[in-house]
Amino acid sequence: MNYFIQLIVSGIVLGSIYALIALGFVLIYKATRVLNFAQGELLMAGAYIAFALTVQLHIPFWSAFFIAMLLCALLGLIIEILILKPLIGEPIISIVMITIGLSIVLKAIVEMIWGTETRVYPAIFSTQPIALGAISVSKSSLFSLVAAITLFIIFHLFFKFSSTGIAMRAVADDQQAAQSMGINIKKIFAISWMVAALVAGIGGILIGNMNGINVSLGMFGLKVFPAVILGGLDSIPGAIIGGITIGVLESLSGGYLDPLVGGGVKMVAPFAILLVILLIKPYGLFGTEEIEKV
Amino acid sequence: MAIKCGIFKTSYMSDMAIWQTKNSRFWMTLFFISLAVFPFFVSKYFLYMANIIAIGVIAAVGLNILTGFAGQISLGHGAFIGVGAYFAGYLTSQFNINFIPAFIAGGLVTAVVGMFFGLPSLRLKGFYLAIATMAAQFILAFVFIHLRSVTGGSQGMIVSPPEIAGFSFDSDFRYYFLSIGTAIVMTLAAKNLIRGKFGRAFMAIRDNYIAAKTMGVNIFLYKIIAFGISSFYAGIAGALWAHYIQIITPEHFTFSVSIEYLAIIIIGGLGSLLGTVFGTIFIMVLPEFLRFINGIVSLHYPMLVNMFDAIREGSFGLAIIGFLIFEPDGLAARWKTIKNYWKLWPFSY
């Protein structure tokens, strides 16, 4: 039983990271209808930028954190202007391929600068696990869970009350109507990429604190697809619930099935689940069903 | 050789003809002859390149039928190639079955697997389908690694060179005729396929599936057929690949291979067979070209040697982005522009 609860808890921690990446993903999809295959690489870029600032430039963690966030947002803006803007109105395959191309380029750049070996962050939190009843959680996992929850509350309020947030929702709902109400769509597109890159960057720093970073961090971006599909591609609560569900399922299947078949189930289980979801409920739990009219 | 400044067609037959003009027939014949004599004059290295390009063309034509003509995105093509490679390899190495039946069985089994993973396409479109095929890729890759009794896991499977009627294709030179021959047959078959009923149905589904349905195209059937044909090509390419390199491991069929094939058809031109050939050559030659350049430059900047992998990957990504932004119709469109320019030279404008 303890093992089961331990798996659930580590699943929730992992899932909260997935949820964070999924959040950035959904933001971009909601506002611009672009499925971003490079979300994982944005996360990696954020993690490496923070690494460079704290370890290589010796800036104290919290100020480095904020500088990294600024740089991430800037990266998002540059990507939007240079790469996504020329592709407005192009077919879906072009958009899929350009974000894949972007992910390859980002990965190559990081590899050129920092190499392929795993880098470790300085310990900000003690590695001493905290005992919660019978189970133990490391302090950095707990921190990432808290950070994820805080971010979701901030985003919820942002979309509910700030005028930019409301404008973003309007653009997501109906671009033409939003434009005729005087919303600057180009600005909204740029903002969504900046915010998405920023959120990904935070996710990267959280992962870096838990496991260290290397160039395969981008894989997180692919593993987040099951989460967003489960929740619905354009739903923010869906991203959270989908992320945590997939995290827990991954942790459970890894814990119970891996010994049976000899490893690797963790990687593939989310995708098997994904295929089932797509067949039963293609638009996810909370996604908007796309109805086509002639 | 009179050069025409326009093609005036009076019937559907002539519009669909493979040899549009006498001129093109002349150049194509010349091209086939040069393909036949090419191996007698070049080194082993160029033969190796020609072989992997020929095998790549087969797989890429398959993907272009599915994505370029039928409009269904597949991010699982690499895994489908793997299915063909492992199945054909298993038949020849474990059961000593002749190459030709094993080779065709590899294609057919892959077609069935592809049709199975194509089933979601009946309900899904666009992004959702892309993600579903990506799931297929990861699930099949998992099978390749963990079904050790068949695939040999990460240690790989050893396959002996193919033998047809006592003739063993055991060198790059001999294999060239097998791979190029298959590539030509498969490409011509594709050309005929898309000129006919199937191709028209595929393109109707791609352009507007609701209109296609109204016109009486059975969407269910043709989408599945498109997946089947595309995977058949992948399987054939996989079988050829397995018997060429003779040791196959799961690393040959990863997600990045699927991306590579999508890049080939994007760079070549969606819905163009000629473009597919250009795209394959481009993608296969690019890393070799970079290796050559890197070799020269690294004499002055030795640190570049360690960076080569990253440079190769990065240029691959940049090529995809560059083509999508500056030449979305690919090399096929560029070829057409150049051809038209020379056709009307010196009065082109």
Given an 8 Å threshold on Cβ–Cβ distance, is A98 in contact with B324? yes
Q: Is the pLDDT at A124 greater than 70, yes or no?
A: no
CA distance readout (Å), B219 to A118, B70, B201, B208: 49, 10, 8, 11
Tell me what the mean pLDDT of segment A241-263 comes to: 82
Q: Which of A92, A262, A282 lies at the smallest CB-CB distance from B146?
A: A262
Q: Which of A101, A112, A267 lies at the smallest CB-CB distance from B142?
A: A267
Confidence of residue A119 (pLDDT cuts 50, 70, 90): confident
By CB neighbour count within 10 A (0-12 exposed, 13-18 middle, 19+ buried), where does A264 fall?
middle
CA atoms within 13 A on the CB side of B302: 0
Q: Is residue A113 part of a domain?
A: yes
pLDDT greater at residue B99 or residue A122: B99
Q: Is the pLDDT at B60 greater than 80, yes or no?
A: yes
What is the tens place of the pLDDT at every residue in B260-292? 999 999 999 888 899 999 999 999 999 888 888
Q: Is residue A54 part of a domain?
A: yes
**Can you spell out the DSSP letters for B135-177?**
HHHHHHHHHHHH-HHHH-GGG-EE-PPPEETTEE--SHHHHHH
Q: Is the pLDDT at A120 greater than 60, yes or no?
A: yes
The answer to whether B107 and B236 have CB atoms below 8 angstroms apart is yes
Q: Which helix (H) or strand (E) holds B270?
A: none
Q: Is residue A173 part of a domain?
A: yes
| Rg (chain A; Cα; Å) | 19
Given an 8 Å threshold on Cβ–Cβ distance, is B130 in contact with A35? yes
**Can you spell out the DSSP letters for B47-62?**
HHHHHHHHHHHHHHHH
Distance CA B23, CA A15 (A): 63
Tell me what the mean pLDDT of segment B190-216 comes to: 91
Beta bridge partners of A130: A137
Q: Is residue A293 part of a domain?
A: no
Chain B residues lying within 8 Å of A294, measured CB to CB = 210
Give the phi and the psi of residue B248 in degrees, each rounded to 5.
-115, 135
Q: How far is A111 from chain B (nearest CA, A)?
A: 6
How many degrees, rounded to 5, is the angle at CA A23 between CA A19 and CA A27? 165
**Can you spell out the DSSP letters for B177-229?**
HHHHHHHHHHHHHHHHHHHSHHHHHHHHHHH-HHHHHHTT--HHHHHHHHHHH
What is the tens place of the pLDDT at every residue in A203-225? 888 888 777 788 888 888 888 88
What is the tens place of the pLDDT at every residue in A228-247? 888 888 778 888 888 888 88
Q: Is the pLDDT at B3 greater than 60, yes or no?
A: no
What is the tens place of the pLDDT at every residue in A159-183? 889 988 888 888 877 778 888 988 8
Rounded to the nearest 10 degrees, how much is the dihedral formed by the CA atoms of B111, B114, B115, B120?
Answer: -170
Q: How far is B142 from chain A (nearest CA, A)?
A: 7
Given an 8 Å threshold on Cβ–Cβ distance, is A261 in contact with B146? yes
DSSP summary character for residue B300: T
Q: Is the pLDDT at B223 greater than 50, yes or no?
A: yes
Q: Which of B126, B131, B319 lies at the smallest CB-CB distance from A225?
A: B131
Count of domains for chain A? 1
The answer to whether B248 and B89 have CB atoms below 8 angstroms apart is yes
The answer to whether B332 and B280 have CB atoms below 8 angstroms apart is no
Q: How far is B63 from chain A (nearest CA, A)?
A: 13
Q: Which of B233, B92, B81 is nearest to B163 (CA)?
A: B92
CA distance readout (Å), A38 to A88, A101, A111, A116: 17, 8, 15, 18
Q: How far is A54 from chain B (nearest CA, A)?
A: 24
Rank A15-19, A32-36, A135-139, B199-203 by mean pLDDT and report only the highest. B199-203
Cβ-proximal residues to B133 (8 Å cutoff; 6+ apart), any chain: B73, B74, B75, B76, B117
Range list of H helices, B21-155: 22-37, 44-63, 77-95, 99-118, 126-146, 148-151
What is the tens place of the pLDDT at every residue in A91-109? 888 888 999 999 999 999 9
Q: For chain A, what is the mean pLDDT?
A: 83
Confidence of residue B1 (pLDDT cuts 50, 70, 90): very low
Q: For chain B, what is the mean pLDDT?
A: 87
Confidence of residue B231 (pLDDT cuts 50, 70, 90): very high
The answer to whether A239 and A62 have CB atoms below 8 angstroms apart is no
Q: Which residue of B has its CA nearest to A224?
A: B131
Residues above pLDDT 90, as percent of chain B: 38
Distance CA A2, CA B217 (A): 57
Give me A61's structure tokens. Answer: 């963690």
Q: Which helix (H) or strand (E) holds B98?
A: none
Query: pLDDT value at position A57?
Result: 83
CATH number of residue A209's parent domain: 1.10.3470
What is the tens place of the pLDDT at every residue in B171-183? 888 889 889 999 9
Confidence of residue A294 (pLDDT cuts 50, 70, 90): low
User: Could you write out the three-class secondary structure of chain A?
Assistant: CHHHHHHHHHHHHHHHHHHHHHHHHHHHHHHHCCCCCCHHHHHHHHHHHHHHHHHHCCCCHHHHHHHHHHHHHHHHHHHHHHHHHHHCCCCHHHHHHHHHHHHHHHHHHHHHHHCCCCECCCCCCCCCEEEECCEEEEHHHHHHHHHHHHHHHHHHHHHHHCHHHHHHHHHHHCHHHHHHCCCCHHHHHHHHHHHHHHHHHHHHHHHHHHHCECHHHHHHHHHHHHHHHHHCCCCHHHHHHHHHHHHHHHHHHHHHHHHHHCCCHHHHHHHHHHHHHHHHCCCCCCCCCCCCCC
SS3 B317: helix
Q: Is residue A131 part of a domain?
A: no
Q: Is residue A179 part of a domain?
A: yes
The answer to whether B269 and B329 have CB atoms below 8 angstroms apart is yes
Q: Is the pLDDT at A199 greater than 70, yes or no?
A: yes
Rank A13-27, A280-294, B52-66 by mean pLDDT and report only the highest. B52-66
Q: Which of B227, B260, B270 is nearest to B133 (CA)?
A: B227
Q: Is residue A289 part of a domain?
A: no
Distance CA A48, CA A200 (A): 12
What is the tens place of the pLDDT at every residue in A28-78? 888 888 888 898 899 999 989 988 888 888 888 888 888 999 999 999 999
| Rg (chain B; Cα; Å) | 21
Residue from B116, B117, B324, B326 whose CB has the most chain A CBs within 10 Å, to mutate: B324
Query: pLDDT value at position A208?
Result: 82
Q: Which of B162, B180, B137 is nearest to B280 (CA)?
A: B180
Q: Which residue of B has its CA nearest to A113?
A: B307
Given an 8 Å threshold on Cβ–Cβ distance, is B310 in contact with A112? yes
Residue from A34, A78, A95, A98 whose CB has the most chain B CBs within 10 Å, to mutate: A98
Quickly count: other Cβ atoms within 10 Å of residue A144's Cβ. Answer: 24
Q: How far is A259 from chain B (nearest CA, A)?
A: 13
Q: Is the pLDDT at A1 greater than 80, yes or no?
A: no
Q: Please, what sign has the CA dihedral across residues A15, A17, A22, A27? A: positive
The owner of tokens 């890759």 is B141
Given an 8 Å threshold on Cβ–Cβ distance, is B145 in contact with A101? no
Q: How far is A105 from chain B (nearest CA, A)?
A: 5
Distance CA B333, CA B115 (A): 31
Quickly count: other Cβ atoms within 10 Å of residue B100's Cβ. Answer: 12
DSSP summary character for residue B66: I
Residues above pLDDT 70, as percent of chain B: 97
By CB neighbour count within 10 A (0-12 exposed, 13-18 middle, 19+ buried), where does B117 fall?
buried
Q: Is residue A68 part of a domain?
A: yes
Q: Which residue of A has its CA nearest to B137?
A: A271
β-strand pairing of B167-168 with B157-158: unpaired
CA atoms within 13 A on the CB side of B116: 13
Residue A265 structural domain = 2-118+138-280
pLDDT greater at residue A46 or residue B298: A46
pLDDT greater at residue A164 or residue B3: A164
